[in-house]
Amino acid sequence: MRRVIRQGWISLLIWAMFTIPVYAQVQSEQLILKESLQKGQDDLNSLGQIWRKSESDMSRSMLLQQISSRVDELNALVLKNTRSQSQLSIAANDALVKKMLTVIELQKTQAPQRLRDLFHSYEQASLANKPLSWLTVSSAMHYQSSLYSKQSELIERLRDVRSRKEYRVRFHNDLLRYVNDLANYLNASIKKQDQIKDEIGSLTKVMHQQMSDELTLQQRVSKTLSDNISQLVPVLKVNDIDVTVYNQLIFSASGELSDLVINSDGFLSFIRTFFFSGDQFFVVSIKSFLPKALIFILMIVLFYGISRVMKQLVSKMVRSKHSRMSTLVQDFFIATTGKSVILLGILAAFSQIGVDLAPILAGLGVAGIVIGFALQDTLSNFASGMMILIYRPFDVGDYVDAGGVSGKVSYMSLVNTTIRTFDNQKIMVPNNKIWGSTINNITAERVRRVDMEFSISYDDDILLAEKVLRSIIDEHPDVLREPEPVIRLMRLGESSVDFIVRPWVRTEAYWELYWDVTRSVKLRFDEVGLSIPFPQRDVHLYQHTHHSLSE
């Protein structure tokens, strides 16, 4: 019996030797943690007092960063200790968590007033400082929402079931009230944006600028509110709150469908309410979008019809009998008129549905400079095309030799000219290559001179040859009497006597005359005994006789 008692005392002594130091260490760390929490709370109170005295946006922005950073440090400290120290009792664990929850609650009560102060500063800020001021407002709203996320995580660390349940009930109601407030503000902001967009097109320039500033403000508000609701969606899910309505609201504000809605139940609920509930976003959007879409389409159709009518009117004007415009210029004016009317129609249609054209036109001006540098060769072709239109060196249907290509001009734009060669090849030549080289318009004049040359032998009768050539030219129906054809003895060549024959003919009959006269000359020369000599050369051979020395 004494041995058993002795062993018991020894075991108790050994347990005390190991347990008491551990317990003392835990108590010491718990005391340090409590002191850290108390110091952190005091720091937050001091920062809050400084906030109330501060009126500078810069100082408030820095104070907000310090407050947020301090809360994050304290929250991380509590989470770390309640996670790692399994030695803590339920009471000690919950005491730390409740202490931090008290800090969070205090911050939640102070956050709305801070947000109101920052929003007032934003409204008073100048137009140039508004973007920077709004960043501080947005940070304050995100900080306020983050407090709910921290509070939700802390409540889950409570080990006492009854306490955790009580905190959950209070937090559930508080969270739902806060998120609903955000949703109501977001709905109001979206409606206000729609009203501004409907009215902004009919305002004066000064009022237009004011409404544009207000629209920018509401867009910033909507973006911040939708981001805050997105931040709280996971917390709502943890607390068994249906997030379908909030996801629809986020989508209506930003067009970004939260990934949290893509699940079997949430997705079906979202589809059901989104498409089939009359007061939801899809139906409301269709009701507001459909009239604008119809107006836009009607404006485009109307101006397309006007462009067709204008093209016909311009076509009649430029192609009238009294018009001296070339076909190139006529086509240019007709095409430009149609495209200009359609462009005006597109701009007018966008204006009618509330789109501000000033930023678009300014953006097009800047883009034009950039595109101009990138497309220097194309612009060079464009400038050359304008010069061709102005000086009209050729027209559609003319036969030209330009840019190293010979053929008939079939089409021309401001960038290139399409030439169909005599063997029916279609070649597109850049206008700067044509304008930068010699342009030979073969069919520019109504009449042309056909230059031909024929030869007879030195033994033939010159007068007979002239008579034959004259009769051939006089008998051909395409030869013009004015200017008078020229038939002359041109040269006495090495092998032949050469005549030039130069009749005048209408341009379109040039080649027919050339081929007919050439054929007739050969036939008539053969009939009268005139020969067309081959190139020949007389070679005289001399024989030298060598006498021997003896002779």
Residue 512's pLDDT is 92
pLDDT band for 10, please (50, 70, 90 cuts).
low
> How many other CB atoms are there within 10 angstroms of residue 331's CB atom?
19
* Structure-model confidence comparison of residues 539 and 471, the more confident one: 471
pLDDT band for 422, please (50, 70, 90 cuts).
confident
Q: Is 373 exposed, middle or buried (0-12, 13-18, 19+ CB in 10 A)?
A: exposed
181-207 mean pLDDT: 77
116-128 mean pLDDT: 75
18-32 mean pLDDT: 53
Residue 278's pLDDT is 46
What CA–CA distance (Å, rounded) separates 478 from 481?
A: 9
The β-bridge relationship of strands 504-506 and 447-449 is: antiparallel
What CA–CA distance (Å, rounded) separates 442 from 426?
A: 18
Say what percent of the chain tops pLDDT 90: 16
What CA–CA distance (Å, rounded) separates 344 from 332?
A: 18
Residue type, 183: A
Q: Is 380 exposed, middle or buried (0-12, 13-18, 19+ CB in 10 A)?
A: middle
17-30 mean pLDDT: 51
What CA–CA distance (Å, rounded) separates 92 from 24?
A: 14
| Beta bridge mates, 408 | 399, 420
Q: What mean pLDDT value characterizes the chain?
A: 78
What CA–CA distance (Å, rounded) separates 205 from 477?
A: 75
Residue 6's pLDDT is 61
Q: Is 42 exposed, middle or buried (0-12, 13-18, 19+ CB in 10 A)?
A: exposed
Residue 84, pLDDT above cutoff 60: no
Residue with structure tokens 């609903």? 180
Residue 488's pLDDT is 93
pLDDT band for 259, please (50, 70, 90 cuts).
very low
What does pTM read for this prediction?
0.46
CB 438 within 8 A of CB 402: yes
Residue 318's pLDDT is 77
Residue 497's pLDDT is 93
* Structure-model confidence comparison of residues 536 and 464, the more confident one: 464
Q: What is the largest CA-CA distance in the chain?
A: 179
Nearest to 332 by CA among 396, 405, 409, 426: 396
CB 341 within 8 A of CB 310: yes
DSSP state of 259: G
Nearest to 460 by CA among 492, 428, 429, 437: 492
Range from 135-139, 262-266, 524-528 carrying the lowest mean pLDDT: 262-266
Range from 80-84, 274-278, 361-365, 476-480 carrying the lowest mean pLDDT: 274-278
Highest mean pLDDT of the ranges 233-237, 246-250, 260-264, 452-456: 452-456
